[in-house]
Amino acid sequence: KGSPRQFFKKKNLITKTHDNRNNTGARNHRRVKYYLVMDIEATCEEGSNFVGMEQEIIEMSFVLLNAQTLNIDDTLQVYVRPTENPTLSLFCRKLTGINQAHVEQAPILLDALPQIDEWLQLHSLLPCSGLQTLSENSSWPYKFALVTDGGRDPVSFVAIECKRKGVPMPSYYKRWVNLEYHFCKTFNVEFANMDGMLKHFNLQFEGAKHSGITDARNLARCTIEIIRHVISGRGSSTTQWPLTLNDGVGRGRFAKKNSTIFVLAQTQEWTQVFLELQRIRSNQTMLN
């Protein structure tokens, strides 16, 4: 089967960067006013391990974190109605706390994404539409940056479902702050998840796990602590953007001790890339 590098190299999907100077997201970033911490919940079946199945988004939740004050200025929770498998499994309902009535009364993905645009417009963070062109070498045009705990939510949920259903995807989903990667680089560990990050900061998880809005709130707490740590080490202000855009759609991340592999967006083989990354990550020792 070969190594991860051989897999990506064969697919013409990889480029290796040794530091942020070669990272498009870091090189072309601008200061942002907000970090938009995101979490997504999707359809699931017991025993599937979430790999190989075509999941559909059923909740998109966001926490609007002020980059200067580090206060949470607003939150948004949007339920989404699945169309391919409209009936939620018992396992999915128990895991996420989302019941059938929640999704039956919700908009489909095509109509849910504009609701998020409208919310961002209310905060003067989106001029008119998020559907503008954003090329690989473009500078970041927004006053906010998405933050996720890795790459799964924007890649395997938003990008893949939009591609599969022919739904236009707003360009601000194309790049994001991979908080796991920043944590690993900052604290010199090879892998971390949200529970591990919370434990590192002596914080307890608050609320019900696998609720999108609850997960987003807890991830925002991790974001705040990482920013505070970076700022204290640099002796600088939050306006210098301590968390850079270090990941993007189609740029799945596999972190090794001394290198980072980015998967290029133009091939659009997101599903293959995600499944391979999932296999690789399952073999790694998680931070407990």
Closest residue by Cα to residue 182 from 142, 217, 138, 231: 231
In angstroms, what is the C-alpha Rg of the chain?
Answer: 18
Amino acid at 107: P
Question: Tokens 């200025």 belong to which residue?
Answer: 73
Q: What DSSP designation does 146 have?
A: E
Residue 210 catalytic?
Answer: yes
Catalytic residue (choose from 102, 123, 200, 210):
210
Hunting for tokens 């599937």 — which residue is that? 48
Provide the sign of the torsion angle of the four alpha carbons 248, 191, 9, 274, taken in this order: negative
**Which entry of 41, 56, 59, 180 is annotated as an active-site residue?**
41
Determine contact, residues 112/80, Cβ cutoff 8 Å: yes
Let me know if 269 is a catalytic residue: no
C-alpha distances in Å from residue 206, one per residue of 94, 209, 221: 18, 8, 10
Q: How far apart are CA 282 and CA 278, in angstroms?
A: 6
Which residue do the tokens 């908080």 mark? 179
Judge contact between 255 and 181, C-beta under 8 A: yes
How far apart (Å, rounded) are the C-alpha atoms in residues 219 and 187? 17
d(CA 279, CA 274) in angstroms, rounded, equals: 9
State the maximum Cα–Cα separation within the chain, in Å, rounded to a whole number. 52
Kindly report the CA angle at 234 between 233 and 239, in degrees rounded to 5?
125
Question: Which residues are known to be catalytic?
Answer: 41, 210
